[in-house]
Amino acid sequence: MGADSREGLVGRGTRTRAAVLAACGGILVSGCATMPDSGEVQPVRGANQGDSQVRVYAVAPRESADPDEIVDGFLEAMTSDDPGFATARKYLTKKAAASWKPEQSITVLTTAPNRDQADRNADPDERGKAYPLSGRKIATVDARHAYQPNSPVEYLRAIHVVQQPTANGKGKEWRIDSLPPGLVLGEADFLRNYRSVNKYYFASREDWVVADPVYIRQRQDPVTRMDPVTQTVKALLEGPTNWLKPAVESSFPSGTELRKGVTTLTTDDQSTLKVPLNDRADQVSGDVCRRMAAQLLFTLRDLTSVRVEQVELLGSADRSLCRLGKGQAAEFAAVRTADRSENPYFVDEHGKLMMLVVGEKVPDRSAELPGPLGKDTARLRSAAVDRGETKAAGVGENGRDLFVSSITTEQEPSPAILSSKGAKPDDRLSAPSWDRRGDLWVADRDRSAPRLWMVPDGTGHPVRVNAPWLTPDVRIDSLKVSADGVRIALVVTQDGRTTLQIGRVQREITETDPVVSVLDLQPAAPRMESVTAVSWAGPSRLVVVGREAGGVQQIRYLQTDGSTSATSVLPGLNGVKSVAAPHGDTTPLVAYSGNDGIVRLAPGMNWQPVVKTGRSPIYPG
């Protein structure tokens, strides 16, 4: 039915009911397909998975079409950009067409749904035919555009067709009267029609933004008729996804929407995007308006189809509310990568913390650090450097004690901030991680009393994090807190399986001790059978080391919502035990391989050895 199974449909003797065109610069040129004006419809070959240049055009049902054609034609029409899905609705009865809401949800299968033959004996009184639909479901997308992955599970629904009088009343025609809710798409068709974008909201009671990934249409939305820019702005104004909502806030007043009738937003010759809003935004203050504009600028920067240097918000009477440029919005970033270069660090063969100086024109070199953790006496097992690169935390070689010290000035060693009573080193403290606030996170893997800890400012009294899912049969192998401090990536082992989970960090203000919770764990790599390591690689992207069922170890990029693409796999590297990614795209990825020591991967290059005897590479965070 989709780009990944049209050949299979033709092979069953059915007719493919959609015309497929490849867009080549907007015109047909040498090397592009042309549409034949006669002959049978042939299967389309060569469409890459998720190729956004492939267009599917829905074809209305032909007169006297048999029920097989009706079902197949409808499944094809669901994959098109047809305005309002008007052609797809022609395959439905009038009642079904009125009640079907393709915008309410998307069910994503590994491949396009398999349509089995109807049971010829199921309806002996000819009240209709039921066609089973089957496949392997890997995700759903809800009405707020949030992608929700799952381990592949069997999908089994049905489409039911009945005969109804034709428009002229002289005969009967087959139409669908019952169908699954929303859209049902194979992964290739989903990636061809939809793309991931990050909406941005402010961390609760803070002045930095948090990414909230959602999916919008690659081209004009069939239901709203909005272009991708307008879709993205509309999604931002609708508010955060349900999962992230408890930990963030929007500066847009409740009820703020695009002005009625707006379906296209374009920049002027100064790369300024003017965004007309309804009257709910008319009375906002200057500071609030700046935050609203910052949310828009961060949200639109991922759209390569448009270059937005500044945004101007317009009220209901077309009055300018405020204007903000990209440079001004940078103050709201969780990580200001333009302020300094990102430096990787590692633990050397003596157990001391070192900085790795990576140069494009000079050889890589290791630099010693001041402070207790930069001395041979540190004997570290793992370490983490804060976002400001002024302090570091280290876990001793036996995994028992957590230490914090300066890495910019000399000082005497300090007592341990936290200690574990675990029986073995692997059952004690995990590698630590710093968040945007300067708070330090670490897991105590003591099997008799597992704990998740947060140390305010890295030196305060440790706060036990409320984690109701952390039971004695759950082990946190490793953790990484996002730069914004609102999400935490956890490599968790339970029932013999090691998975990657994303938890939401919530903080409550009390008169006594702070209350910090990690709630609502969501799978981030459900198709991986086991996960070895993870690192944040930007606002909503992760680098994950793991293995799919029956496969070999791989390193790949994943979105925090668990979505991926065919181009996300990185060059292979054997025996990877840890990985570290920068926040930006210009600094190399670093990893530790049991075979090669510390290696780095610069953009567009292959893995290169850096330090043979080093281990545990990290970037600040």
Report pLDDT digits (tens) over 382-415: 999 999 999 999 999 999 999 999 999 999 999 9
What average pLDDT does range 422-443 have in this prediction?
Answer: 96
Q: What are phi and psi of 74, to 5 degrees?
A: -65, -45
Least confidently predicted of 88-92, 117-121, 453-457:
117-121
pLDDT over 50 at 549, yes or no: yes
User: Which pLDDT band holds residue 7 (cuts at 50, 70, 90)?
Assistant: very low
In tens, the pLDDT along 470-497 reads 999 999 999 999 999 999 999 999 999 9
Per-residue pLDDT, 303: 85
Can you tell me the distance from the alpha carbon of 602 to that of 617, in angstroms, rounded to the nearest whole number?
15
- For the record, the structure tokens of 550 come out as 């029956």
Per-residue pLDDT, 47: 38
In tens, the pLDDT along 99-115 reads 999 999 999 999 999 99
Per-residue pLDDT, 39: 41
Per-residue pLDDT, 408: 95
Per-residue pLDDT, 567: 60
Per-residue pLDDT, 363: 63
- Answer for the pair 305, 273: CB distance below 8 angstroms, yes or no: no
User: Which pLDDT band holds residue 42 (cuts at 50, 70, 90)?
Assistant: very low
Averaged pLDDT of the chain: 88
Name the DSSP class of 17: -
pLDDT over 50 at 28, yes or no: no
Ranked by mean pLDDT, which of 119-123, 184-188, 267-271 comes out on top? 184-188
Can you tell me the distance from the alpha carbon of 611 to that of 396, in angstroms, rounded to the nearest whole number?
21
Type of residue found at 612: K
User: Which pLDDT band holds residue 565 (cuts at 50, 70, 90)?
Assistant: low
Can you tell me the distance from the alpha carbon of 151 to that of 139, in angstroms, rounded to the nearest whole number?
8
Can you tell me the distance from the alpha carbon of 413 to that of 603, in angstroms, rounded to the nearest whole number?
39
Per-residue pLDDT, 169: 77
pTM over 0.85: yes
Least confidently predicted of 78-82, 231-235, 499-503:
78-82
pLDDT over 60 at 32, yes or no: no
pLDDT over 90 at 453, yes or no: yes
Type of residue found at 298: F
Per-residue pLDDT, 381: 96
Per-residue pLDDT, 95: 96
pLDDT over 50 at 509, yes or no: yes
Per-residue pLDDT, 605: 86
Can you tell me the distance from the alpha carbon of 465 to that of 479, in angstroms, rounded to the nearest whole number?
13
- Answer for the pair 247, 208: CB distance below 8 angstroms, yes or no: no
- For the record, the structure tokens of 118 come out as 């109807």
CATH class belonging to 6-192: alpha beta
pLDDT over 70 at 286, yes or no: yes
User: Which pLDDT band holds residue 58 (cuts at 50, 70, 90)?
Assistant: confident
| Residue 296 CB-density burial (10 A; 0-12 exposed, 13-18 middle, 19+ buried) | buried
Q: Which residues contact 253 (CB under 8 A, 6 or more apart)?
A: 280, 281, 284
Taking the CA of residue 512 as centre, how many other CA atoms within 13 Å lie in the half-sphere pointing to its CB?
1
pLDDT over 80 at 51, yes or no: no
Can you name the CATH fold of 345-618? Neuraminidase (2.120.10)
Per-residue pLDDT, 487: 97
Q: What percent of the chain has pLDDT over 90?
A: 75
- CA distance readout (Å), 121 to 126, 137, 190, 261, 380: 10, 29, 35, 51, 72
pLDDT over 60 at 566, yes or no: no
The CA dihedral of 70, 72, 74, 76, to the nearest 10 degrees, is -150
pLDDT over 50 at 618, yes or no: yes
Look at residues 347, 388, 387 and name the one whose alpha carbon lies nearest to residue 369: 347
Can you tell me the distance from the alpha carbon of 326 to that of 554, in angstroms, rounded to the nearest whole number?
36
User: Which pLDDT band holds residue 188 (cuts at 50, 70, 90)?
Assistant: very high
Look at residues 534, 424, 532 and name the one whose alpha carbon lies nearest to residue 480: 534
In tens, the pLDDT along 304-363 reads 788 999 999 999 999 999 999 999 999 999 987 655 678 899 999 999 999 998 765 556
Terminal-residue alpha carbon distance, the chain = 45
Q: What percent of the chain has pLDDT over 70?
A: 88
What average pLDDT does range 553-559 have in this prediction?
Answer: 93
Give residue limits of the domains in the chain.
6-192, 218-332, 345-618
DSSP string, 415-445: PPSEE---SSGGGSBPPPEE-TTS-EEEEE-
Per-residue pLDDT, 121: 54
What average pLDDT does range 282-298 have in this prediction?
Answer: 97
